[in-house]
Amino acid sequence: MKQFIIVVLLVLQASFLFAQQEKKFIKKGNELYQEQNYKDAENNYRLSVGKKDKTVEGNFNLGDALYKQKKYDEAGKQFNKIAASSTNKEVLAKAYHNLGNSLLDSKKLEESIEAYKKSLLNNPQDDETRYNLAYAQKKLQQKKNQDKNNKNNKNDKNKDKDKKDQNKKKDDKNKDKDKDKKDQDKKNQDDKNKDDKGKNDQDKKDEQNGQQPQPNNVSKDDAERMLEALSNDEKQTQDKLKNKKLKGAKVHIEKDW
């Protein structure tokens, strides 16, 4: 029985010593925190909580030291851990408030709003949390409006791009048509020049052979036939005129009364 009492006393003494040491680290951490030496304050707070994360005060202060170093993700995890392990409304309200701040600075607006709401559920009278909630909601609405404007601007740019592409295609099509027309006109002109050149070459050849160039490409045989036809027509015309003269001569006829 005496031995059992000694063991208990030793355990109690060890707990007392650890509690004293824990407070010592927290106190040192607080001093460093006030000096804005947040890194060393963090180290002391970690020593205060130890491996079992015993004290609420040490865990809260550790989260605050992480937040001051802008380690928002680590700070958020620390406050979330405190909230998950406590049933005390005051502790929950403060833990969710600080969690909301960490999320807000991480640009996680929707998550921060939910954290502030949970804080107010545990302490509806906290005006600071209510203000932070309103601020986060306003920032979220601004972000949505900006995203909407960016989307509309993007759509407008896409529409303008589509319109430009359509106009470019239309212009390219017209250019192709113009090019085809020019190519055809050039071909026609080349053909005409080729024909004219052929005619000129033929005329020059005829002149060199002592022949007069025939108009409209009439051959020598055709020209002779045409001359012969003209001679025949002229002869027929003279015969007609002669007959008409004979028929038209006046003849004196005695009237029979």
Give the total residue count for the chain. 257
Q: What span, in angstroms and rounded, lies between the C-alpha atoms of 146 and 136?
A: 15
Q: What span, in angstroms and rounded, lies between the C-alpha atoms of 7 and 23?
A: 24
CATH 1.10.10.10 fits 17-147, yes or no: no
pLDDT in tens, 130-141: 999 999 999 999
Mean pLDDT of the chain, nearest integer: 77
Q: Helix/strand/coil (H, E, C) string of 32-73?
A: HHHCCCHHHHHHHHHHHHCCCCCCHHHHHHHHHHHHHCCCHH
pLDDT in tens, 112-125: 999 999 999 999 99
Q: Would you list the domain boundaries of the chain?
A: 17-147
Q: What span, in angstroms and rounded, lies between the C-alpha atoms of 61 and 23?
A: 12
- Predicted pLDDT of residue 140: 96
Q: At 180, list the tokens.
A: 């085809």
Map residue 255 onto helix, strand or coil.
coil
